[in-house]
Amino acid sequence: MRVLVTGNQGYIGSVLSPMLQNDGHTVVGLDAGYFSDCLIDEVLENFEQIKKDIRDIQPQDLDGIDSIIHLAGLSNDPLGDISPALTHKINFEGTVNLARIAKKVGVKRFVFASSQSMYGVSDTSFELEEDVSDINPLTAYAQSKWEAEVELKKLVSDNFLVVCFRPSTVFGASPRLRNDIVFNNLVAGAYTTQKIEVKSDGSPWRPVVHVRDVCAAFISGLYAPAAIINGRSFNVGIADGNFTVRDLAEVVQRTVPGSSLNFTAEHGNDSRTYRVSFRRILSDLIDYYKPSWSLEDGGQELVSMFEKVDLNETQFRGRHTIRLAQLRYLMDSNQLDHNLRWKTE
């Protein structure tokens, strides 16, 4: 299968593309290039690469493409807050336009990387489910993902499959690592400073999932029968995949011996707390999605990579692993304009 991966030069895309190739697929990458140089480890990208903004997709970009896994977008709340209007333009309008063109030119499957952030703040006495729990997007990023899902599902037909995967907070090693997500941040901090600093009281809940398991979910969207997935959304995670921040921090402390654990509570009892149900993906896609990574495994994997690349505190806190810092660098150095358009091309 010839698969277009948008955002292939991001944290998840850098893991997904080789996995697809290992499964025998032909990969075509499409990426604006914001994070192409944010490498802390080696990556082999021996496939066709299109450098293009998702806002500029043309029908010819999809020549010969059978399926699309769409990762590209402003990828978290701090990035989204740069400009809510820009977030809407890229994450919503860019996504819907890509899907409409894809359907028109005969692409068969559209796998969308959505987000659990659309649930917003919730009652943690129960687990959130895809079609029955309230949608309460609190940020421009979350709103853009929810609106995109709604519009994408209007395009569903017998000849154009759409499936939306809502990943938990991702963790784990990638050549283009992100340290602005909770578990990676805690492990990298422990490794480079021997300190684990939690700015809440540790009580908030976070569903988390390893990057390779997220990629496995996206890949399942290429195989699973249309009757199971077409026009549906799936929370992506593992059995018992909800953890408190304290749980995460304690795993990190065991993973990095000698690190100290401190709950500063400067953010108090963080209101961003939610628990998510993974019943649908673990039952309906049982033959296609088989997650295998635990927190402990992912922590050890991160430490092994940090040892290999000799990660230091400057790298941990720097622009190569903090997405907002990289975009600000590109703008401050006059490479990107205020609309995140390259000035040098």
pLDDT at residue number 108 = 98
Check pLDDT > 60 for residue 228: yes
Q: pLDDT band for position 268 (50/70/90)? A: low
Q: pLDDT band for position 84 (50/70/90)? A: confident
pLDDT at residue number 264 = 79
Question: Quick one: average pLDDT of 149-163?
Answer: 98
Q: pLDDT band for position 266 (50/70/90)? A: low
pLDDT 10s digits, 231-240: 999 999 999 9
Question: In this prediction, what percent of the chain has a pLDDT beyond 90?
Answer: 84
- Both tokens of 220, joined, read 């399942």
Task: Name the maximum alpha-carbon separation found in the chain.
Answer: 57
Question: Which residues have a Cβ under 8 Å from the Cβ of 112 and sit 6 or more positions away?
Answer: 70, 95, 99, 148, 149, 152, 162, 163, 164, 165
Amino acid at 85: A
Amino acid at 45: E
Rounded Cα distance, 286 and 179, in Å:
31
pLDDT at residue number 240 = 94
CB-based contact 307:316 (threshold 8 Å): no
Domains annotated for the chain, with CATH where assigned, are 2-176+208-238+274-294 (3.40.50.720)
pLDDT 10s digits, 31-47: 999 999 999 999 989 99
Rounded Cα distance, 186 and 53, in Å:
32
Question: What pTM was computed for the model?
Answer: 0.95
Residue in the structure block whose two tokens are 């903004």: 53
